Amino acid sequence: MRIRVLSVLGSLLLVIVALVSTVLMQSVSRDATADLQVNRLSALNRFVQLASHANGGDDLEMLQLEMDTYSQLYGEGLLIVADGRQLASGEIQPEDAAVAQALRAAALNLEHTEIPAVNPFSDGAALITRPFGNTAQVLGSVTMKVNLEPARMRVLQASSMVLIISLAVGAIFLLLADRLATWVIRPLHRLDDSVQLLTRTQRPIPLVDQGPPELQALSRSVSNMAQTMATSLQQQQELIAETSHQLRNPVAALRLRVDLLKMRGGDDSSSDALRAVEDELARVETLLDGVLRLASAEHRLTEQNSEESAVEAGTRRESINALEVLAEEIERQSAVAQASGNTLMLDRASEPMVDALVWCNGFDLQQMVSELLENAIKYAPGTQVELGVRSSGAMLDIVVSDHGPGLSTAELSRAVERFWRSVRARGTAGTGLGLAIVDRLARANAGQIIVAANDGTGLKIIIRLPRASSGQEGTDG
């Protein structure tokens, strides 16, 4: 943008400089021509007067002497026709076609005293002619071959000076245009960078007042808008977290009261009602736990996107063996899996143990694997759930696949949305937050989640994370 603005401003300024310099050079040429015209007409009139009063040989000799003196002094030619004779001095030839044409015109009492405009490219000489005589006839004429070279050199020097000054002024104007463009464009670039950073990090960036007053006002408006938006987002996150936390207390109190009512006993209808209330409480507790975990994961993702917190977030990662995490999680959930009729199988041959290192926060990785395993057990009961790792260039894929009902192609694209659940899974207990949590945690660790159909039937979910070398170390936060 700066180049475009500078091109427009520079072009306009150069056009102005070119027009002004052209006018100045034309003025110089006009002045030089006018001076030469006045001087030579004065000399031409003087010789006309001398020639018209020449009478006899002595006067013509004196006239020839005057002509020779003039030609030696100014380097110009003179040709006078008087008393039936031609007198010439300097570099002028009567046989010359132009001179002969001037003499014929003078014989017809036609004068030509206009000197063409002198410019740096003018010819070296110009002819002016003036006849003289009485009212009845033309008695003679004076033709002067004006030397234009001195005037041309003066015009050339003056024009060169004007051109040099114009180039200098043009360069100064271009420099000023560059400074002006920078002054105007720099705040716009800072605004663009700030908006992009705000979009990426959701954190307001203070802007320094720069540029024209209008842009300074715009910068302040953008800063205020960014601050307002960031405050609103933070308040929303805090509201979700605090509301979920605060709801746990009354829910816990309700559960305690239900437990006390159950201990006191009652008829069968009361017991059924209590069990219904207890089921709803369990569902609310599960939902609150999911919302809290999702809020935490989204907060981690926001920190990852923030440049200021990226380094801090990076120091919380460590080199973790993904196979070990999978094995631990399988052991922890084996009892639940057996109760659901699932078989958990770890594919240790998929990647050598020493190469199954990922660069990730340990707690995040354990939480992601736990969520996927719980989902597989919940939505694909009675099937085999396979866990393993696969190399993917600089990344490592942690794969959890099952042989359950799976999802349709349209459903796969919505699987990581918050609170989204497949129509076929509406009868199964769940919140629809598990894959959303895994998605945010994976992105917070510079990775991603891929939800795809398993070969044959079922679902295959991949957590793709940066690989870590065996010598890479990190600090657990």
Same domain membership, residue 106 and residue 22: yes
Is residue 161 domain-resident?
no
Average pLDDT over residues 12-40: 89
Same domain membership, residue 343 and residue 278: no
- Which H helix or E strand runs over 389? strand 384-392
User: Where among 140, 155, 170 does a domain terminate?
Assistant: 155
Is residue 440 domain-resident?
yes
C-alpha span between 108 and 236 (Å, rounded): 105
pTM score: 0.54
Is residue 433 domain-resident?
yes
Q: How confident is the model at residue 326 (pLDDT cuts 50, 70, 90)?
A: very high
What pLDDT shows up at residue 268? 61
Is residue 251 domain-resident?
yes
Instruction: Report how many domains make up the chain.
Output: 3
Residue-wise DSSP of 315-368: HT-EEEEHHHHHHHHHHHHHHHHHHTT-EEEEEGGGS-GGG-EEEE-HHHHHHH
Same domain membership, residue 69 and residue 39: yes
Is residue 351 domain-resident?
yes
Same domain membership, residue 292 and residue 269: yes
What pLDDT shows up at residue 463? 94
User: Where among 256, 274, 305 does a domain terminate?
Assistant: 305
> Using one digit for the tens of pLDDT, what is the confidence trace for 190-229?
888 888 877 777 777 777 777 788 888 888 888 888 888 7
What pLDDT shows up at residue 56? 75
Is residue 436 domain-resident?
yes
Is residue 180 domain-resident?
no
Is residue 235 domain-resident?
yes
Same domain membership, residue 3 and residue 146: yes
> Using one digit for the tens of pLDDT, what is the confidence trace for 75-89?
889 999 887 788 888
* Residues 6 or more apart whose Cβ sits within 8 Å of residue 212: 183, 184, 187
Same domain membership, residue 16 and residue 78: yes
Domain CATH for 98: 3.30.450.20
> Using one digit for the tens of pLDDT, what is the confidence trace for 232-253?
777 777 777 777 777 777 777 7
Please provide the average confidence, as pLDDT, over all residues in the chain: 83
Whether 305 shows a pLDDT value over 50: the answer reads: yes
Same domain membership, residue 399 and residue 278: no
Taken in order 327, 329, 330, 332, the sign of the CA dihedral is positive
Same domain membership, residue 322 and residue 284: no
Domain CATH for 419: 3.30.565.10
Residue appearing with tokens 């995490």: 325
User: Where among 305, 337, 354 does a domain terminate?
Assistant: 305
Same domain membership, residue 286 and residue 147: no
What pLDDT shows up at residue 69? 92
Q: Which domain holds residue 339?
A: 318-466
Whether 313 shows a pLDDT value over 60: the answer reads: no
Same domain membership, residue 451 and residue 347: yes
Residue-wise DSSP of 78-98: EEEEETTEEEEESS--TTSHH
